[in-house]
Amino acid sequence: MLAVLLLLSLLVYLVYNLLPIDKAADMAMQEIAANKNLIYAERYLYWQRRYGLDGGLLVRYLRWLGLAPFYDGSFQGLLQGNLGSSIAYGKPVAEVIVEPLKNTLFLNLLSTALSLSITLPLGAFCAIKRGSKRDTAVQVATIVGYSMPAFIIAILFIWLFAIQLNLFPVSGTSSVGKDYVGFRAFLDKLWHFGLPLLVTTFVSLGGMTRYVRAAMIEALHLDCIRTARAKGLHERLIVRTHAWRNALLPIVTLIVGWLTSIFSGSIMIENVFGINGIGKVYFEALTTNDNEIALAMQMFYIFLALAGNLLADFTYGLVDPRVRVGGRQ
């Protein structure tokens, strides 16, 4: 697990080194432009040392991790909690991403809750009524839902809800020129997040419903269900206690893994709706060559994905006593 993280960090660092961006050279050039008396090579070396960009690739990588010292002997890497600093914002990365992170979390957690409250009952219902007309209709609808890319759904929803029905604003996170406080501010935010929320939820509906349905069908074919039926238990009881509990196992793992993946998935939604979330920060960092922020975000995504995997494994063991994580034959 940790090895994978390390390997990936090396990979990502190497890939970022392919970008022809030299922060030290930029700074040195700026200084020379301001003061003609300075010698370029000297200033370049100074900034290289300042940013820890001198030395070989491996040394630089270790410095970035926080395992090798800078020129002045200090350690300022990831392990020390230093994510680097953004050129565009002129602030440490950690400070830059606080507000976007809040927005992204707000959007994604809310949409997860919303979509779960729809998909869990719907999927279970479809599994029970499997093969019926209603099930078929839902199946067709969900295929359409998960086949359409998020941005097309977003455009359709903007057209329908923001332009034709005029219910929501087209983009942004708060009303311009209005300083709401307290509850009004929250309502305003909710109003602005309404459309992205709808789209994010809608996008996830298809896949989730199908997954829940599959898990429930699987569970309904277990031997214990047959036994329960043979014993003459009420069908509702069978579904609610025997089947549902068993179906929940794969669903819980899915939800945990999915929670982490929506962070990278929200890049699209945040860009379409102009929401100041981490996806947008990453997008802008990439397009404006704000290298360190992009690097930090990339590591953040990888870390999230790995943590998600780990968490999924743990929850699996937690909810299902039959599974013992790490018990390899």
Partner 1 sequence: MIRWFKRAFTGKKNLPELEAGEEIESPSRLLRQAFFSKKTALFALVLLLGVLAFVFIAPAFIPMDVNYTDPLQQNVAPNYSMRSVPRGLKRSVATIDGFSGFSVGLSKAGEAFVWGDSEDRLNKQDMKVIPEEVKQEGAAQIAAGKDHILALTKSGKLVGWGDKSCGQYGFTPVLNAVTMPEILQEGIAPESVRSIVCGYQASALVKTDGEAYLWGNENAVKNLRELSHLTGVEQIAFTNSTAIALLGSGEITTGSDSVFTSVATVDGTLNIPLNAYLVERKAVFIAATNKCVAVLTEAGELIVSGVFENGENELPQLKDGERFVALDSGTRHFVGVTNFGNAYGWGHNAYGQCELKADGKTARVFAGALQSYAVDEQGNLTQGVGLKGYIMGTDGRGRDVFARIVHGGKMTMTIGAVAVLLSSLIAILVGCVSGYFGGWIDVLLMRITEIFSSIPFLPFAMLLSQIIKYYNITETTRIFIIMLILGALSWTGLARMIRAQVLAEREKEYTHAARAIGVRESAIAFRHVLPNIVSVILVSMTLDFAGCLLTESSLSYLGFGVQQPQPTWGNMLNGCNNSTVIQNYWWQWLFPALFLSLATICINVVGDALRDALDPKSNAHK
By CB under 8 A, name the binding residues for partner 1. 4, 7-8, 11, 15-16, 18-20, 130-131, 140, 143-144, 146-152, 155-156, 158-159, 162-163, 170-171, 221, 261, 263-265, 267-268, 271-272, 282-283, 286-287, 294, 297-298, 301-302, 304-306, 309
Report the distance separating Cα 103 and Cα 112, nearest Å. Answer: 14
Minimum CB distance to partner 1 smaller for 158 or for 275:
158
Minimum CB distance to partner 1 smaller for 67 or for 152:
152
Count the Cβ atoms, other than its own, within 10 Å of residue 239: 20
Minimum CB distance to partner 1 smaller for 27 or for 278:
278
Q: How far is the CB of 320 from partner 1 (least distance, A)?
A: 19
Q: How far is the CB of 143 from partner 1 (least distance, A)?
A: 5
Report the distance separating Cα 80 and Cα 152, nearest Å. Answer: 42
Query: In Å, what is the CA distance from 130 to each residue of 126, 137, 217, 251?
Result: 6, 11, 8, 19
Evaluate whether 94 touches 83 at the Cβ level (below 8 Å).
yes
Report the distance separating Cα 216 and Cα 232, nearest Å. Answer: 20
Q: How far is the CB of 146 from partner 1 (least distance, A)?
A: 7
Q: How far is the CB of 248 from partner 1 (least distance, A)?
A: 20
Evaluate whether 224 touches 242 at the Cβ level (below 8 Å).
yes
Minimum CB distance to partner 1 smaller for 251 or for 268:
268
Minimum CB distance to partner 1 smaller for 172 or for 186:
172
Report the distance separating Cα 283 and Cα 111, nearest Å. Answer: 22
N-term to C-term CA, the chain: 19
Q: How far is the CB of 93 from partner 1 (least distance, A)?
A: 15
Q: How far is the CB of 262 from partner 1 (least distance, A)?
A: 11
> What tokens were used for 200?
């994010």
Report the distance separating Cα 51 and Cα 44, nearest Å. Answer: 11
Evaluate whether 194 touches 217 at the Cβ level (below 8 Å).
no
Minimum CB distance to partner 1 smaller for 68 or for 214:
214
Q: How far is the CB of 282 from partner 1 (least distance, A)?
A: 6
Query: Helices 278-287 and 291-319: crossing angle, nearest 10°?
Result: 140
Minimum CB distance to partner 1 smaller for 120 or for 278:
278
